[in-house]
Amino acid sequence: MTKIRSIESSICVVIPAYKVSNTIIDVVKSIGPEVKKIIVVDDGCPEKSGQLILDKCKDKRLSVIFHRSNFGVGCAVKSGYKAAIKLGVDIVVKVDGDGQMDTGQIPRLILPIQRGTADYTKGNRFFNLESIYTMPKIRILGNMFLSFLSKLSSGYWKVFDPNNGFTAISIDKLRLLPLSKLDDGYFFESDMLFRLKLLDTRITDISMVAIYRDEVSNLKIGRVMFEFPFKHFRNFHKRLIYTYYLRDFNLASLELPIGFILFWFGIFYGFFHWLKGQLLNIATPQGTLILVTMCILVGLQLLLSFFSYDTTSKD
């Protein structure tokens, strides 16, 4: 029987703060009365965002955690999560401090968790096509690329916009997460999806519109394009091992290795005989061509069958 949480669930908002002194006060003040506790984590901010909040904002729900240096946004969120767990709230919402998220949407974000139909919800800026036109073009292209990699590594093929930091999670699922294993940097949200998949977490995307101003992102595109693919590649292989060989073994568990071996055997064996024919000026035997073709086609078919199973399995 599905557990339905009370609509009066106690909510905690966690806000990582780094170089957001121009926006953090407005973000905190915009949080509605449905939220019981607000935790700001000053991640060694050179602009003293945490102290600024304490000086300028007298909200009784507010508390600030200070990191002695900049450990990364993921580390800041984890500190907030640990503090929220100790508070005993029902749902923890994560909001960025740059003012790009409409905190008035928090009730919509947490509703699936309150109803018991989801354990984790996240914003998706790509539901509304009109709002996409307001998004910087480089972010659109980057999100499309990273979204595909995230689908591959996490197994959540129906989830989009993986780096959206507007999220909510039930306290029950949060307690099960191995926080120490989650990435400390900007890969945190994508790493969360990978870990949540291993816990069979129900995830729901919530449509939202991002608010873009003149802020400068701390996320460097050049670094992401090298760092993120490697980490997605690592998580993809971990997920395959955990899902198809350690926790379960089915037909897809056979299709993947057999298809991989046949496909690449056909590619390399065919290339070897093509190169041999070019160097010695001899024709490749017909039987060899048939063998190469069959290996490539059968291997490709098995790989496609595996990914068909993976993409249609329950998220």
The closest alpha carbon to 202, from 124, 107, 147, 121, belongs to 121
**Who wins on pLDDT, 136 or 12?**
12
Distance CA 258, CA 256 (A): 6
The per-residue pLDDT for 272 is: 94
Distance CA 135, CA 125 (A): 9
pLDDT tens column, 26-49: 999 999 999 999 999 999 999 999
SS3 label, residue 186: coil
The closest alpha carbon to 73, from 182, 158, 201, belongs to 182
Length of the chain: 315
pLDDT tens column, 231-274: 999 999 999 999 999 999 999 999 999 999 999 999 999 999 99
What average pLDDT is seen over the chain? 89
The per-residue pLDDT for 227 is: 85
Fold (topology level) of 11-244: Spore Coat Polysaccharide Biosynthesis Protein SpsA; Chain A (3.90.550)
- Check whether 54 has a pLDDT greater than 70: yes
* Phi, psi of 181, deg, nearest 5: -90, -10
Positive or negative, the CA dihedral 61, 67, 70, 74 is negative
pLDDT, mean of residues 66-95: 95
Q: Measured over all CA atoms, what is the biggest interatomic distance in the chain, rounded to whole angstroms?
A: 85
According to DSSP, the residues that pair with 205 across neighbouring strands are 122
Least confident of 127-131, 148-152, 266-270, 300-304: 127-131
Counting DSSP H helices and E strands in the chain, the numbers are: 11, 7
Work out the percent of the chain whose per-residue pLDDT is above 70. Answer: 88
Interaxial angle between packed helices 137-154 and 188-198, expressed in degrees from 0 to 180 and rounded to the nearest 10: 30
**Tokens representing 245?**
């060989």
- Check whether 1 has a pLDDT greater than 50: no
CB within 8 A of 276, min separation 6: which ones?
A: 282, 284
CB atoms within 10 A of CB 220: 10
- What residues does each domain of the chain span? 11-244, 251-312
The per-residue pLDDT for 4 is: 44
The closest alpha carbon to 190, from 164, 166, 218, belongs to 164
> Do residues 37 and 145 touch, judged by C-beta distance below 8 A?
no
